[in-house]
Structures are given as structure tokens and as C-alpha cells.
């Protein structure tokens, strides 16, 4: 089956009742038929609700199919998914190489928690590519990627970094939220653990919090073991909503991408805009990598105002009416975020002509969204 068909049919166990969606089952205790069965090797998953019952099992199956993975762990948020992936990959003490464009809360975790494990976070230029081999040494325990960066949209050379890591025997983790597992498959490019916030594009309706981590082979076995060890759990109600969102993921991503590209091109011609940060535009610095590794675009991008400081950028965002002001993205509603307060760089200084504003294109009419942007910029 083609990808879009699999999105509709995977994770749908048709039962005798004929329901097209799995039933929501809420349970902490799951009774075993015997003591022998209770203590069987799979007992921890089958006979306690933390392991997940329907529809968690169906969602795992569907995400595994998306990544062609051997195991999918579900967590209560995107941040917890990335933390689970990092903790699975890291075996300290030593150092961890972290992309300088990493999602802010993940960066905070790396700065505050990794040192408690004896692991020093070392930040690298997201555009380093194969030259990351020069940073890898006998103390390197993990490499964290995010492509594109969720604020500044650098596209990383994922295969080159993954190859350098594999040569050195270092596990890799990627934040794959922007592609939603649909536009790029990091596992096929050599990454060990692909995490994403299902809250965003998979959920798609701004009504759930959930994350996932997918892996293959030995990495999948290690992921499953850590998932059980740390007691991660996802609500069956949220799993149901994530499955519902997964069915329309391809259509929503296509619409959001079209809208984002339309808005980006119009903003590019606006006199108050200095630069557009959208990997799908041919003038983006990493467009060639984007064309090579991604099958399409999502709807999240950013632009830089021309000579307008951070306070002025926030005034532009405050003047918007259709675009909501919020940290999330990937839902049906369009959002705007002034980003300058969030940007932290240590490997490479952030240099821009003015304030940075991130947009997430929702499903509204593009002309209405453009009128809102043009009025706010004016």
C-alpha cells in the first residue's frame, strides 16, 4: 500500500462489532488467567495498564508503520518523548553533542540534567554535516539532531551526521516533529531514535499532549526496556485522538504547506521583511538538503523583520487577529510566535537583521491570513 493508504488502514483492528475506530479502554489492572501467565516475560506489558491497552496498541502499530520501526514508545508529551530517547541513548559519563538549534526545553534538560549523569553537553553548529566527526571522541555518548530547527530552520545533513556517528559507535537521537514522520524518515537515513511531539501535526486539533519515539533493531529493544523501566504512559483517550488525527495527517500537512509557502512568498516581497526562513523555498541556505531528504514541507516557518527590534516584533504579533499567539504549532489554527526571547546559541552566534517571528499555517483561507499579516505589518 502507498503511504497515504497506510495512514488510513494501519492500526485498525477490525473486530466483530464492525467499528472502524478502536474502542477506548481505560484500565490500570488487567487480570491474568493464572499466576504462571501473570509472571510470563511479557506480563509487565500485558497485565498492567501502564503498558497500554486499546487504542494505545493501535497507535503504536501505526507509528511503527510510519517509520518502518520495530518499536514505538508512547509518552505523555513531546518533551517527555525526547527525554526518553536521550536517556535511552546516553550511557555516561562523557559528553553529548547537541545541535545548537535544539528545542528550548530539550536544551534546558541537557544543560541541567545531563551533568547530573556525568555527561557534559557540547553544542555544535547545526550545519556542521560530516565535519561532526572532528567533535566525536572516546567520551562521546550521544548526538542530538533537530531538522529543521524549530525556531531558525536550519536543515541538518542527517545522513552525514548519522554515518559519522555509526562509524564511531555513537547513538543518535532526532527531534522529527516538523516532518511528523511523514515527510522524512530519519531511521532510513541512519538515525537510531526518532522522537516527535504527536501533540503537533499528528494530533492536529490542539486538544492533546503526547509524544512518540521510534527505533529499529537493537535500539528498539533498548527503547522498549527503558520505556518499561521509566514507567512512561500515555492516556488511552489521547491515543484515540492521535489515531484520529493520523488519518487526516497527509491532507492537513499538504494544505498547511501550501498556505505556508504562499504566505512565505508574499512576505518575501514585503518591504518590512528582511529574510524568510522556510526550507522549501529555493533561496533557503539548506534547500538542496531539504530537496534530498524530505518528500514535502510542513506549515511551520519563520521570517525576520527588517531593522525592527524584538519589542517591535512583539508589537507586530500583538496586532494580529486571526493568528493566535502560542508556543505550539501543527494544529488546525494558525499561530504566531515572537522568538527573540527564546533564542539561545553557544556554538554559533545568532545574527539577524531584526526580530524573528515564527508562523504556523493552519487551515484557514490563505487570503484571510495574508490580510491579517499585511495589516499587522502595516
Same domain? 255 vs 340: yes
- Final residue before a domain boundary, out of 201, 232, 247: 247
Residue 108: CATH number of its domain: 3.40.640.10
Same domain? 22 vs 65: yes
DSSP β-ladder status, 94-99 and 71-75: unpaired
Same domain? 238 vs 279: no
Q: What integer pLDDT is reported at residue 44 of this predicted model?
A: 47
Same domain? 234 vs 258: no
Q: Are 262 and 44 contacting, i.e. CB atoms less than 8 angstroms apart?
A: no
pLDDT in tens, 356-372: 999 999 999 999 999 99
Nearest to residue 322, comparing CAs of 275, 273, 376, 272? 376
What's the whole-number mean pLDDT along residues 201-215? 97
From CA 378, how far away is CA 374, in angstroms rounded?
A: 6
Concerning whether 50 is annotated as a catalytic residue, the answer is yes
Same domain? 59 vs 173: yes
What's the whole-number mean pLDDT along residues 204-218? 97
Residue 362: CATH number of its domain: 3.90.1150.10
- Final residue before a domain boundary, out of 247, 276, 298: 247
DSSP annotation string for 346-359: SSS----SS-EEEE
Q: Are 253 and 296 contacting, i.e. CB atoms less than 8 angstroms apart?
A: yes
Q: Are 33 and 214 contacting, i.e. CB atoms less than 8 angstroms apart?
A: no
pLDDT in tens, 155-185: 999 999 999 999 999 999 999 999 999 999 9
Same domain? 256 vs 234: no
% pLDDT > 70, the chain: 98
Query: Which one of 200, 252, 255, 358 is the catalytic residue?
Result: 200
Concerning whether 25 is annotated as a catalytic residue, the answer is no
- Final residue before a domain boundary, out of 247, 263, 292: 247
Concerning whether 200 is annotated as a catalytic residue, the answer is yes
Rounded to whole angstroms, the maximal C-alpha distance in the chain is 73
Query: Which one of 25, 45, 46, 50 is the catalytic residue?
Result: 50
Same domain? 116 vs 153: yes
Residues paired with 122 in a beta bridge: 97
Same domain? 267 vs 348: yes
Query: What is the arrangement of strands in the sheet containing 273-277, beginning at the earlier edge strand?
Result: 273-277, 300-305, 356-360, 335-338, 324-325
Count: domains in the chain: 2
Q: What integer pLDDT is reported at residue 42 of this predicted model?
A: 61
Whole-model pTM: value is: 0.96
Query: Which one of 65, 100, 157, 175 is the catalytic residue?
Result: 175
pLDDT in tens, 91-124: 989 999 999 999 999 999 999 999 999 999 999 9
Same domain? 223 vs 311: no
Same domain? 264 vs 326: yes
Looking at the predicted structure, is the pLDDT value of residue 219 above 80?
A: yes
Same domain? 274 vs 166: no
Same domain? 185 vs 333: no
From CA 369, how far away is CA 332, in angstroms rounded?
A: 13
Could you tell me the residue range of the domain that residue 308 belongs to?
A: 249-377
Q: What integer pLDDT is reported at residue 12 of this predicted model?
A: 84
Query: Which one of 48, 67, 103, 123 is the catalytic residue?
Result: 103
Q: What integer pLDDT is reported at residue 29 of this predicted model?
A: 87
Amino acid at each position: 500500500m502507498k503511504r497515504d493508504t497506510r495512514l488510513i488502514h494501519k492500526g485498525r483492528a477490525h473486530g466483530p462489532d464492525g467499528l472502524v475506530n478502536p474502542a477506548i479502554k481505560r484500565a490500570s489492572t488487567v487480570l491474568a488467567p493464572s499466576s504462571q501467565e501473570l509472571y510470563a516475560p511479557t506480563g509487565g506489558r500485558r497485565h498492567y495498564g501502564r503498558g497500554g491497552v486499546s487504542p494505545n496498541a493501535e497507535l503504536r502499530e501505526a507509528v511503527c508503520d510510519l517509520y518502518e520501526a520495530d518499536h514505538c514508545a508512547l509518552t505523555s508529551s513531546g518533551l517527555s518523548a525526547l527525554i526518553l530517547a536521550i536517556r535511552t541513548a546516553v550511557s555516561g559519563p562523557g559528553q553529548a553533542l547537541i545541535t545548537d538549534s535544539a528545542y528550548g526545553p530539550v536544551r534546558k534538560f541537557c544543560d541541567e540534567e545531563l551533568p547530573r549523569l556525568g555527561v557534559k553537553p557540547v553544542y555544535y553548529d547545526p550545519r556542521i554535516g560530516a565535519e561532526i566527526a572532528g567533535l566525536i571522541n572516546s567520551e562521546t555518548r550521544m548526538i542530538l539532531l533537530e531538522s529543521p530547527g524549530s525556531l531558525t530552520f536550519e536543515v541538518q545533513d542527517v545522513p552525514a551526521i548519522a554515518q559519522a556517528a555509526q562509524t564511531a559507535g555513537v547513538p543518535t537521537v532526532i527531534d522529527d516533529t516538523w516532518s511528523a514522520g511523514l515527510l522524512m524518515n530519519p531511521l532510513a537515513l541512519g538515525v537510531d531514535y526518532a522522537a516527535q511531539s504527536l501533540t503537533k501535526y499528528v494530533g492536529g486539533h490542539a486538544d492533546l499532549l503526547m509524544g512518540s519515539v521510534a527505533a529499529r533493531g537493537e535500539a528498539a529493544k533498548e527503547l522498549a526496556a527503558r520505556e518499561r523501566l521509566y514507567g512512561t504512559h500515555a492516556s488511552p483517550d489521547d491515543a484515540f485522538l492521535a489515531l484520529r488525527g493520523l488519518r487526516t495527517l497527509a491532507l492537513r500537512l499538504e494544505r498547511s504547506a501550501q498556505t505556508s509557502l504562499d504566505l512565505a512568498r508574499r512576505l518575501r516581497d514585503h518591504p518590512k521583511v528582511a529574510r524568510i526562513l522556510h526550507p522549501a523555498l529555493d533561496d533557503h541556505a539548506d534547500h538542496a538538503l531539504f530537496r534530498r531528504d524530505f518528500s514535502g514541507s510542513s506549515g511551520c516557518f519563520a521570517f525576520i523583520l527588517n531593522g525592527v527590534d524584538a519589542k517591535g516584533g512583539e508589537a507586530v504579533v500583538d496586532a494580529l487577529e486571526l493568528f493566535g499567539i502560542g508556543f505550539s504549532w501543527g494544529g488546525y489554527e494558525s499561530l504566531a510566535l515572537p522568538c527573540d526571547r527564546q533564542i539561545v546559541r553557544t556554538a554559533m552566534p545568532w545574527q539577524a537583521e531584526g526580530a524573528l517571528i515564527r508562523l504556523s499555517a493552519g487551515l484557514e483561507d490563505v487570503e484571510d491570513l495574508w490580510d491579517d499579516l499585511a495589516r499587522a505589518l502595516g
